[in-house]
Amino acid sequence: QSVLTQPPSVSGAPGQRVTISCTGSSSNIGADYHVHWYQQLPGTAPKLLIYGDTNRPSGVPDRFSGSKSGTSASLAITGLQAEDEAYYFCQSYDNSLSATWVFGGGTKLTVL
Amino acid sequence: QVQLQESGPGLVKPSETLSLTCTVSGASISSYYWSWIRQPPGKGLEWIANIYDNGSTKHNPSVKSRVTISADTSKNQFSLKLSSVTAADTAVYYCARVSVDSSGWYGAFYFDHWGQGTLVTVSS
Interface of B with A (CB under 8 A): 35, 43-47, 60-62, 94, 99, 101, 106-117
Residue B105 pLDDT level (bands cut at 50, 70, 90)? confident
A18 to chain B, closest Cα gap in Å: 21
Query: In A, which residues are within 8 Å of B62 by CB distance?
Result: 98
B66, B40, B59: which is closest to B120 by C-alpha? B40
Q: B112 and A48 in contact by Cβ < 8 A?
A: yes
* Burial class of residue A76 in the structure, from the number of CB atoms within 10 Å of its CB (0-12 exposed, 13-18 middle, 19+ buried): middle
Query: In A, which residues are within 8 Å of B109 by CB distance?
Result: 93, 101
Question: Looking at residue B30, what is its pLDDT?
Answer: 93
Provide the chain A residues 22-81 that lie in CB contact (below 8 A) with chain B: 31-34, 36, 38, 44-48, 51-52, 57
Contacts of residue B103, Cβ cutoff 8 Å, sequence gap at least 6: none
Q: What is the mean pLDDT of residues B2-24?
A: 97
User: Is the CB of residue B2 less than 8 Å from the CB of residue B26?
Assistant: yes
Whether the per-residue pLDDT at B100 is higher than 90: the answer is no
State the CB neighbour count (10 A cutoff) for residue B113. 21
Split chain A (112 residues) into runs of 10 and give each run's mean pLDDT: 93 97 96 95 94 95 97 98 97 88 96 95
The share of chain B scoring above pLDDT 70, in percent, equals 100
Of B47, B108, B116, the CB nearest to A34: B108
Question: Looking at residue B114, what is its pLDDT?
Answer: 98
Q: What is the mean pLDDT of residues B40-55?
A: 93
* CA nearest to A29 within chain B: B107
* Burial class of residue B106 in the structure, from the number of CB atoms within 10 Å of its CB (0-12 exposed, 13-18 middle, 19+ buried): middle
How many CB contacts within 8 angstroms connect chain A with chain B?
65
Whether the per-residue pLDDT at B81 is higher than 90: the answer is yes
Residue B101 pLDDT level (bands cut at 50, 70, 90)? confident
Question: Looking at residue A35, what is its pLDDT?
Answer: 95
Q: What is the mean pLDDT of residues B34-62?
A: 94
Question: Looking at residue A98, what is its pLDDT?
Answer: 75
Report d(CA B39, CA B119) in Å as an integer: 9
